[in-house]
Structure 1
Amino acid sequence: MISQQSRADAQCLWDFQQMGHEVRPCSVAIGLGSHDLGVADVTAALYRDGMAPVIVFTGATSRTTRERMPRGEAEHYRERALELGVPADAILVEPNARNTGENITLSRTLLAERGITVSSALLVCKPYEERRAYATARKLWPDAEWLCASAPMSFAEYVASIGDERLVIDMLVGAQQRLVIYPNQGFMIRQEIPTDIEEAYRRLVTDGFTSRLIPATVEAAEGC
């Protein structure tokens, strides 16, 4: 049973992860691979709306996508975008990235190899990872301007789409942990975390929403 307090705390983390950027035309849209084909849907919609002339889908496979996306996350995203009317020559596929940092660095390399100049980029990801993706991109590709986009869904709508409330809360807690520990490791820029967000995070960890935490740093994360 998930308590009302845990749901309220999860809502706080969900709201904090949303960057609230207003999208506008950029040099490229980069769709970050994951289990969620909604990322491909949003990226395709941005292309159709004239927000980017070219798309990069980036991602290999992971333990959570190996069965569902055997050809790789980026390739399955490409196929979905083609179904949604995006022309093949507007899509680049980066099939090797296995984490957010590689999503950014390998996409940058691919675009440079294709001679595409990037001054700004739309970073398309899952709704609960906007802030994490943004902080990573700012660290690894600081000379580009970054805007985040994701499916315009409420926390309740996203839970309904996944069908597993505990898993979604676990993923939110994991994303929040990484905002704290990854800057120390040089993986992303540091961002100010309000006290109410820290407190919501600690309560969720105490209540056992820990399956997506990095085990070696659980104690440090609880004390952040």
Structure 2
Amino acid sequence: MKHAAFLEQITDFIFVENEPEKSDIIFIPGSGFPQLAEEAAQLYHAGFAPRILPSGRYSITQGHFGGVQEKTEQYPGTYETEWDFLRKVLEKNKVPSHAILREDKATYTYENAIYSRKVTEKEELNICRAILCCKPYHARRSLLYYQFLYPETRFLVCPVKDSQVRRENWYKTEKGINLVLGEIERIGVQFHEILRGIREETTISPEEG
């Protein structure tokens, strides 16, 4: 392919993926796609982590839970929050309620990470290694936010396999291009404040600190 190297660089940046390893927890950023919780349930039953923390109230742009995005026949009903929906999916996939932590305040990805950190601190959990379940094209942005809130944690990104937009086909459809380039745009826009804060921290002298 003529532009293979160009596409490969974008693909490798956005589509992060790791093999799962024994971890302390599985994180799920808020979503109306059941595949995220289904993947987390499979990892839980395989013994990769003893707890799962779905996160999410609803999208800040909608102001309410946007509904089940796929497999509506398998997960019918009305859900108040993304967490409520993801919890239902986990329970339907035989994850016991005692293994599911609760975070139902976040309205965007950064808040998913922020409020998840508050939950794990309240539970006094030491998160040395964590699995992150997300959509394939959401992998990099999710990882950046969670890694920022958990700087000492080693993250393993295990994106869902059941996704129309994947690393091998994203550039072949208008939907895939919009989703992937939209992620790059969001990373560029949303990380200004974070990087500004990091810059300010690194420019403070020991005397000033």
TM-score with structure 2 setting the length: 0.74
Deviations 1:149-205 (A, max 9, x none): 1112575679x9xxxx544432211111123333332169x9xxxxxxxxxxxxxxx
CA distance in 2, matches of 1:40, 1:187: 31
* RMSD over equivalenced CA pairs, Å: 3.3
CA distance in 2, matches of 1:78, 1:143: 27
Contact 1:139 1:187 in 2 (8 A): no
Classify 1:187/1:130 alpha carbon distance in 2 versus 1 (closer, same or farther; 3 Å).
farther
CA distance in 2, matches of 1:96, 1:79: 17
Q: Which residue of 2 aligns with 1:83?
A: 92
Measure how far apart 1:35 and its partner are. 2.6
CA distance in 2, matches of 1:93, 1:32: 12
Please give the secondary structure, in 2, of the residue aligned with 1:92.
coil
Q: Which runs of 5+ in 1 are unaligned?
A: 191-224
CA distance in 2, matches of 1:58, 1:136: 13
Deviations 1:80-135 (A, max 9, x none): 01000101100012000111111112111111212222111111111101111111
Classify 1:67/1:98 alpha carbon distance in 2 versus 1 (closer, same or farther; 3 Å).
closer
Contact 1:39 1:126 in 2 (8 A): yes
Classify 1:156/1:183 alpha carbon distance in 2 versus 1 (closer, same or farther; 3 Å).
closer
The reply to whether residue 58 of structure 1 matches residue 55 of structure 2 is yes
Contact 2:32 2:85 in 1 (8 A): no
Classify 1:73/1:182 alpha carbon distance in 2 versus 1 (closer, same or farther; 3 Å).
same
Measure how far apart 1:23 and its partner are. 1.3
Q: Which residue of 1 aligns with 2:204?
A: none
Post-superposition, which runs of at least 4 consecutive aligned residues in structure 1 deviate over 3 A?
Answer: 9-16, 153-158, 165-168
* Higher helix content, 1 or 2: 1
Please give the secondary structure, in 2, of the residue aligned with 1:24.
coil
Q: Which runs of 5+ in 2 are unaligned?
A: 69-78, 199-209
Q: Which residue of 2 aligns with 1:177?
A: 185
TM-score with structure 1 setting the length: 0.69
The reply to whether residue 74 of structure 1 matches residue 83 of structure 2 is yes
CA distance in 1, matches of 2:28, 2:175: 22
